[in-house]
Amino acid sequence: MASFANIYTHRKVADTSPKACEICYKPSTSVLVAPENKDFFYVCLAHLKDKGFCNAIVDEAVVAAKRKKEMEAEVERVKQEFEEKQKKKEERDSAKDKDKEKDKSGEEKRGEKKTTEKKKPEDATPAVVDEEPRVFALQKTFFQQRIDKKRNAEIARRSRERLQNPNLFPQVPKGFP
């Protein structure tokens, strides 16, 4: 029997059809599936977080791109805040020079406060989602157990087929001795 790679993808099944976890036998809706559906088994979410059971396979390029995107967003946000502070500072300085401009800057400040209040909820809407890893590699002992279980199932299937074959058993002698 050809072995399969130690790469399992985490998938969820319907909440109405949980099955027993392979490790602790509690009902679980999480399934680890090998490539090309060669192997699958139900497992609890707690076991997926256990380093003694499996390790997450994380694509470093995706993680680096995500960090870079977050940093660019943070830099852009800081730049906008700095520009707003500079504008307010310039308005305050010009307001001190002229009383008429002071009234106008007060109105503009009120208008700016309204716009900043509108901007803040937009920044808060993209919630930070902790994406759970989807691809895992089992520890050596657990992966070997999976291979042994598949091998034993294959051996049992072959022996059942042989027992159903009528040519397996010898025939009764038909002649006299």
Predicted confidence (pLDDT) per residue in 68-79, tens digit: 999 999 999 999
Give the total number of structural domains in the chain: 2
Same domain for 117 and 155, yes or no, is no
pTM for this model (two decimals):
0.57
Residues 120 and 67 in one domain: yes
- Amino acid 171: pLDDT: 82
Of 11-20, 67-76, 93-102, 166-175, the range with the lowest mean pLDDT is 93-102
Same domain, 21 and 108: no
Same domain, 158 and 72: no
| Co-location of 91 and 114 in the same domain | yes
Encode pLDDT of 83-94 as tens digits.
999 998 888 887
Q: Is residue 22 part of a domain?
A: yes
Asked if residue 114 and residue 28 are part of one domain, the reply reads no
Host domain of residue 32: 8-58+133-164
Q: Please report the pLDDT score of residue 134 as a whole number.
A: 86
In a shared domain, residues 42 and 93: no
CB 31 within 8 A of CB 47: no
Same domain, 54 and 103: no
| Same domain membership, residue 147 and residue 98 | no
